Structure 1
C-alpha cells in the first residue's frame, strides 16, 4: 500500500514545473491519491509593483491573483489534468472536483508551501529540481528549503524526465530510515517495471591512516570478503521487501564520503530516480537535513525522492 495519499504539487510557470506537475498527476492516478496544485506569488513582487505603479496594495494583490489564476488554469490545461478547475470567484481562489484542487497563495514561497502541506496533511510534495533563479546549480533554493523544513516526503523531478522511471537506485546505510527507502524503492520499481539497485556507499577501512598501526588485514582477499559481508547485509535487509522481484541488484561502492559516492554512483549507472532517507545512521537528529541527503539533493544527476523521518 502506498505511503502517498495526499500529494501537493508546487509549481511555477516553467517547463520544468510542467513536467513535475505531470509526474505528480501520474503518481496521483497510480495511487488513487488526492492532488493539490499550488503556486505561490512572492509578496516582495507585489510590494515592488505597488511601490512602482503607485497602485493601492489591495488592488495590486487582486490583479496579480487574477492574472496568476489565469496562468495556472492554462498550465493545468496544458498538463491535460482532467477534472481540475480553479473556481476563481471563491474567497480562497480554490476549486475542488473529485479530490483534485488548486490554488494561488501570496507570501514567502517556502513558508506558503510548508503551510499548504500542513493544511492538506500532505504525504508528498512534488517539485521541479530547478528553480528559475538557479537553473544551472542543481536543486533550486526553494526545493532544498522545503526538503529541510517540510513535514512531508519530497520528490524533486529532473527537468528532462517524462513518463515512468526505468532505473531506480536506493541509498542504504542499514538504518531504520533506509529500510523504509528500500520498501519505497521496491514498490515504485514494481509499479514502473523498473530495475532496482540497492547500494551501500562505504569508506574502505584499509584506506584509513590510523588503521595502519592496527592488525587489520588489507589484502585483496580481505577486501573482497569485506565487500561480500556488506552485500549480504544489503540482501538481508531488503529480503522482506523485494521477494519475488527479478530485477534487483545489490552493490557496495567505495568513496571518500557517502554523499559524493552516492552522486558518483548514480551517474555511473545512469539512474533516473534516486531514493534516500533525509537522515541516515550517522546524522544527529538536531541537524535539519542529513549531509548525504543534502549532497544528493544538490548534485544528483536524476530525479530524487527524499523520505522524511516518520513518527515511531
Structure 2
C-alpha cells in the first residue's frame, strides 16, 4: 500500500473547477488527507498592471493591484467551497500566485511537495480539443508527483458543446493497467489505496501487445513452429499468476471484487476499451512503460490514454520507484 497524506487541487475557476474540487475533497475526506488548493492568476491578467506601472508609476500601484487580484481569487474560491462543499469551509490551505499556469503549478508542486495532484483535463479556455503544449498536457508530462487528471465520462468529448457542467462521480471501480514494468508494484499500490479508501472494486489489467507476439513468433525455436492458439492460453495464465503474486505482495488480496484480466492487442486501444466495458471510474497508469524512456514521448501509450480516456487518469510520478 502507498502512503498518501497530502493532496493539491489545481483550479482556475472555470466550469471544470467544481469537478476538480469534488474529486479532491472527496478523496481528502475518505483518506483523511490534508488539502491545498492551488490557483494561478495568468499573466494576461497581470501584464496590464505591469505596463501601467512602468509607464505611469505615479498613477498605478502595481503591488496593490496584484494583491487585489489574489484576494479576489481567494474570495471566489472560498465562495465556491461554501456553495458546493460547505463542510470543507476553512479546512483548506489556498495558495495563489501569478505567472504561466503550467509553470506555476509545477513550481507550486515543488514548493509544497504534495503526495497527489488533482487537476482537470481542460480549463478556462474550454478547448474543443487537446492542443500540444496545453496546461493540462504540459503538467501531465512534467510534474514529478502522481497526478490525477479528472474528467466527466458522461460528457467527455473533444468537440463537446453541450451545456452540462462537468461533475465528480463516485469512484466504484478502479482499473490498474499493469505492464510488468518496474513501476507495476507502485501502480498496484496506488490503485489499491484508491480502492480501499473509496470502497471501490479493483480490476488489475494487462495487455499482451501484438508486437510482443510478433517478436516471440520470429524468435521461436524450432523455427516456424510457433502456434498462437497453443501459446496464448499459457502466456495468459503465466501473466495472471504473476499479477496475483504482485497483488499479494502489495497487500491487496483482501479487496472485495478484486479481478484480474489479460487481453491481447494494441495496449492503449485495449486499455481504453476494457475501461469502458468494466465501467471503470479511475484508470491508474505508470509514468511510462517498460522502455523506461528518459521522458514522455508524444504518441506513447500513456499520452494516448491521457488524451482519449473518458474516465479520470491517475498517472504516477517518474521517480516513484526510487
TM class, shorter-chain normalised? Answer: 0.7 to 0.9
Residue in structure 2 matched with residue 93 of structure 1 by the alignment: none
Residue in structure 2 matched with residue 254 of structure 1 by the alignment: 264
Residue in structure 1 matched with residue 112 of structure 2 by the alignment: 120
How many angstroms apart in 2 are the aligned matches of 1:151 and 1:300? 21
Residue in structure 1 matched with residue 160 of structure 2 by the alignment: none
- How far 1:48 moved relative to its partner? 4.6
Residue in structure 2 matched with residue 15 of structure 1 by the alignment: 15
How many angstroms apart in 2 are the aligned matches of 1:168 and 1:3? 18
How many angstroms apart in 2 are the aligned matches of 1:78 and 1:12? 17
**What are the residue-to-residue correspondences of 1:300-311 with 2, within 5 Å?**
300-308=309-317, 309-310=319-320
Residue in structure 1 matched with residue 161 of structure 2 by the alignment: none
Residue in structure 2 matched with residue 61 of structure 1 by the alignment: 66
How many angstroms apart in 2 are the aligned matches of 1:211 and 1:311? 33
1:189-211 Cα offsets, whole Å, 9 max, x none, are 22222221111122234556972
Is contact 1:169-1:266 (8 Å) kept?
Answer: yes
How many angstroms apart in 1 are the aligned matches of 2:74 and 2:126? 25
| Change in 2 beyond 3 A, CA 1:251/1:311 | closer
How many angstroms apart in 1 are the aligned matches of 2:188 and 2:283? 11
Residue in structure 2 matched with residue 188 of structure 1 by the alignment: 194
Residue in structure 2 matched with residue 201 of structure 1 by the alignment: 207
Structure 2 gaps, min length 5: 153-165
Is contact 2:283-2:312 (8 Å) kept?
Answer: yes
Is contact 1:278-1:289 (8 Å) kept?
Answer: no
| Change in 2 beyond 3 A, CA 1:246/1:72 | closer
How many angstroms apart in 2 are the aligned matches of 1:200 and 1:311? 20
Is contact 1:206-1:216 (8 Å) kept?
Answer: no
**What are the residue-to-residue correspondences of 1:85-104 with 2, within 5 Å?**
85=90, 100-104=92-96
Residue 211, structure 1, aligned to residue 212, structure 2: no
- How far 1:60 moved relative to its partner? 4.0
How many angstroms apart in 2 are the aligned matches of 1:83 and 1:269? 32
1:17-55 Cα offsets, whole Å, 9 max, x none, are 111112211222222221111211111232257769987
| Change in 2 beyond 3 A, CA 1:266/1:135 | farther
Is contact 2:6-2:35 (8 Å) kept?
Answer: yes
Root-mean-square deviation (Å): 2.9
Residue in structure 2 matched with residue 157 of structure 1 by the alignment: 150
Residue 287, structure 1, aligned to residue 295, structure 2: yes
1:162-219 Cα offsets, whole Å, 9 max, x none, are 3431121101011231111112212222222222111112223455697299434224
Residue 70, structure 1, aligned to residue 75, structure 2: yes
| Change in 2 beyond 3 A, CA 1:224/1:79 | same
**What are the residue-to-residue correspondences of 1:215-230 with 2, within 5 Å?**
215-230=224-239
- How far 1:224 moved relative to its partner? 2.0
- Count residues with an aligned counterpart: 297
How many angstroms apart in 2 are the aligned matches of 1:294 and 1:219? 30
Structure with greater contact order relative to length (CA < 8 Å, sep ≥ 6):
2
How many angstroms apart in 2 are the aligned matches of 1:182 and 1:136? 33
How many angstroms apart in 2 are the aligned matches of 1:21 and 1:62? 24
